[in-house]
Amino acid sequence: MRSYTRTSPWSVLTCFLLFCLIFLQGCLENTPPEKNLNTDAIRINQVGYYPQSSKKAIVVDPGKATNFEIVEVSKMETVLTGDLSKSLSWDLAGETVKVADFSGLQESGSYKVYVEGIGYSHPFEIESAVLNDALKAAIKGQYYQRAGMGLEQAFADKWERALGHPDDSVLFHPSTGKSGFTSAPKGWYDAGDYGKYVVNGAFSLGQMMSYYEQYPDNIADGDLNIPESGNGVSDLLDEFKYELDWLLTMQDEDGGVFFKLTTKGFAGMVMPEEAVKPRYIIGKGTAPTLDFAAVLAKAARIFADVDPTYAQTCLEAAENAWAWAKNNDALIYRNPEDISTGEYGDSNFTQEFYWAAAELFVTTNSETYEEYLKTINIDFTFTPGESWANFMHYIGAIALLENLEENPIKEQLQQAILKEADRLVKMSKSNAYFQPVADFQWGSNSDVLNTAMIIAQAYRIKPDPSYLNSVQEITDYIFGKNATGYCFLTGFGTKTPQFIHHRPSSADGVSEPVPGLLSGGPNSHQQDKHEVDYPENAAPMKSWMDMEPSFASNEVCLNWNSAAVYVLGFLEAETALK
């Protein structure tokens, strides 16, 4: 009699799984490894391209690769092939690259770039209004920065939060020359911290108001889903007013303007309602007073038809500030010994005077401001870094170009802007990432976008396609065609910052950061290197880390978002809507 050994069902299952593993391994061995995952070695605009725009991808360490393919995602079918450029190198990125130019592809759809031996890029879209969602998110980023109110789920989704910093009883710091308490509610948190700053708030408003003044119909009531939506006024104006209302509280009775409203030092990485240390109105100076005068004069124009009474309040405040600044034209702000929050330092107020005089002249048509403008010699060569001190004269120039009839002032401005735009376009064509910034400082992404803003003005003066292409390629850099491979706007792109230096994003318990906030970008100075382990000998363009402690490279800030708002709005208006 034979004896039989019973086979366990678990043994059968084990054999079956082993067979499947061997089969899959054989399949993978016959499949090029680069086809399994997206690669960071192909840098593209991860948000997407307009059908008629320039379209380029950067292939890093391409080796002997000479060709590329564009693959339609749903069917994984090749729709276009092309030759890679010759090898290019750029020391600031520490890379050798080749360029894939697929500008000829204009059919809407979802695509990837494929290079044999390297792999597939992250996906991207081609469609007519491809940057519209990013534009609206960048504007709504300011809503998420609102102080003095809770953010309700209906408007903030999972990033809802409780009310913090009502600022209805804040102390006057001795540096103001005043004592006691006052009320200064509303306004936007400046950055990753909970301070409110006149200089940077006014500057950021100025950039976004320039967009509104040029393209007033692009953002309608209800477009942003904010608490004021449905009131019959553009959501963009509603967001401006939330900051303007706070700015108006920062003016002293004599017309001068206080510098900031902060605690004595930065709060920890906690939610707004948990940052409860006393808050102070601090300092007074020429810079905040002039920036205030400029943006309130601009607001008087913008709100004239919407709310004439409010517009008149803004204009009176602006003229009072101008008068004070003329009598106090060299009052430099420095942090008092017991204050360690942001200083936004500047000691040359020529550009601030120019911006204020330009806005006041356009709004009032007064010879007083026109004559003052004629006495100021302004250099329109772009300077990277500290845009709140180095870029506001461009906002004044935009106001003059937009509103003046043909006259010598306007003609000189046009020539100056065209000359600088031509220089910037030439620079952008000279490097492997097609953008004109070579000095990567704190907030370099805003520097890059500010150059695009200058070139955009050249396009409005003279609609040469080379200007529009340059603005588009600079935007590509921000959205992933850069040496880090990241799309720097939170919530957009396949590879996007997850650990921005931003207190609510750190403390709210939500895995994703607050959306629509622009990371500062590469910063070769690495002021936070005592807290952040950058790669050894990191190239300037790679001095960026997606880490919460990296305040020098991965913080967010109003004036970085405002530059993005202008550039994205310009592209949507000049490309998608035409």
What DSSP designation does 575 have? I
For the cut 60, the answer to whether the pLDDT of residue 25 exceeds it is no
Query: Lowest mean pLDDT: which of 25-29, 238-242, 267-271?
Result: 25-29
What DSSP designation does 223 have? S
> Could you give the CA distance from residue 141 to residue 387 in angstroms, rounded to a whole number?
19
pLDDT of res. 16 = 47
* Together in a domain, 145 and 204: yes
- Percent of the chain scoring above 70 in pLDDT: 94
Q: Which of 126, 152, 177 is the last residue of a domain?
A: 126
> Could you give the CA distance from residue 396 to residue 294 in angstroms, rounded to a whole number?
8
Q: Which residues are catalytic?
A: 193, 501, 546, 555
Work out the number of other CB atoms within 10 angstroms of the CB of residue 180.
Answer: 6
Q: How many CA atoms lie within 13 A of 154 on its CB side?
A: 4
Residue 467: closest CA among 447, 451, 483, 448: 451
Domain count, the chain: 2
Residue 492: closest CA among 473, 509, 514: 514
pLDDT of res. 409 = 85
Give yes or no for a contact between 323 and 216, defined as CB atoms under 8 angstroms apart: no
| 21 found inside a domain | no
For the cut 70, the answer to whether the pLDDT of residue 6 exceeds it is no
Give yes or no for a contact between 296 and 316, defined as CB atoms under 8 angstroms apart: no
CA distances from 242 to 15, 112, 152, 471 (A): 67, 41, 16, 30
Give yes or no for a contact between 401 and 457, defined as CB atoms under 8 angstroms apart: yes
| 67 found inside a domain | yes
Tokens matching residue 554: 């991965």
Domain of 505 in residue numbering reads as 132-576
What DSSP designation does 273 have? G
- Percent of the chain scoring above 90 in pLDDT: 89
What DSSP designation does 572 have? I
Higher pLDDT, 20 or 402: 402
* Together in a domain, 109 and 183: no
Span 2-7, mean pLDDT? 34
Give yes or no for a contact between 272 and 502, defined as CB atoms under 8 angstroms apart: no
pLDDT of res. 19 = 45
| 6 found inside a domain | no
Tokens matching residue 306: 């919407």
Span 106-124, mean pLDDT? 97
3-class SS letters over 318-358: HHHHHHHHHHCCCCCCCCCCCCCCCCCCCCCCHHHHHHHHH
pLDDT of res. 2 = 31
pLDDT of res. 244 = 98
The CATH number covering residue 78 comes to 2.60.40.10
* Together in a domain, 251 and 175: yes
Span 74-101, mean pLDDT? 95
* Together in a domain, 120 and 71: yes
The type of residue at 74 is S
For the cut 90, the answer to whether the pLDDT of residue 101 exceeds it is yes
> Could you give the CA distance from residue 72 to residue 126 in angstroms, rounded to a whole number?
11
Span 217-225, mean pLDDT? 97
* Together in a domain, 116 and 159: no
* Together in a domain, 179 and 268: yes
For the cut 80, the answer to whether the pLDDT of residue 341 exceeds it is yes
What are the residues whose beta carbons fall under 8 Å from the beta carbon of 52, sequence distance 6 or more?
106, 575
* Together in a domain, 517 and 569: yes
> Could you give the CA distance from residue 24 to residue 30 in angstroms, rounded to a whole number?
10
Q: How many CA atoms lie within 13 A of 159 on its CB side?
A: 21
* Together in a domain, 114 and 228: no
Query: Mean pLDDT across the chain, nearest whole number?
Result: 93
What are the residues whose beta carbons fall under 8 Å from the beta carbon of 38, sequence distance 6 or more?
112, 119, 120, 121, 122, 123, 494
Tokens matching residue 415: 């020539």
| 232 found inside a domain | yes
Q: Which of 126, 160, 184 is the last residue of a domain?
A: 126
* Together in a domain, 257 and 117: no
What angle do helix axes 444-461 and 465-478 make, rounded to 10 degrees?
160
What DSSP designation does 530 have? T
Tokens matching residue 504: 């609510």
Q: Which of 126, 153, 187 is the last residue of a domain?
A: 126
CA distances from 210 to 216, 236, 527 (A): 10, 12, 32
Tokens matching residue 191: 């950055």
| 164 found inside a domain | yes
Give yes or no for a contact between 481 and 562, defined as CB atoms under 8 angstroms apart: no
pLDDT of res. 26 = 43
Q: How big is the chain, counted in residues? A: 578
pLDDT of res. 8 = 42
Beta-bridge partner residues of 70: 80, 113
The CATH number covering residue 233 comes to 1.50.10.10
Residues 37-54: pLDDT tens digits? 789 999 999 999 999 999
Give yes or no for a contact between 191 and 557, defined as CB atoms under 8 angstroms apart: yes
* Together in a domain, 120 and 137: no
For the cut 80, the answer to whether the pLDDT of residue 394 exceeds it is yes
Residue 273's φ and ψ, nearest 5 degrees, are: -70, -15
| 22 found inside a domain | no
> Could you give the CA distance from residue 177 to residue 548 in angstroms, rounded to a whole number?
37
| 300 found inside a domain | yes
Helices then strands, counting H and E runs in the chain, come out as 16, 15
* Together in a domain, 536 and 565: yes
* Together in a domain, 175 and 242: yes
CA distances from 132 to 367, 525, 569 (A): 40, 34, 8
Q: What is the pTM of this model?
A: 0.93
Tokens matching residue 486: 């990241």
What DSSP designation does 266 have? -
pLDDT of res. 576 = 78
Q: How confident is the model at residue 488 (pLDDT cuts 50, 70, 90)?
A: very high
> Could you give the CA distance from residue 89 to residue 98 in angstroms, rounded to a whole number?
9
Residue 423: closest CA among 460, 454, 468, 446: 454
Span 5-24, mean pLDDT? 43
| 25 found inside a domain | no
Q: How confident is the model at residue 98 (pLDDT cuts 50, 70, 90)?
A: very high
Beta-bridge partner residues of 56: 101
| Terminal-residue alpha carbon distance, the chain | 90
Q: How confident is the model at residue 12 (pLDDT cuts 50, 70, 90)?
A: very low
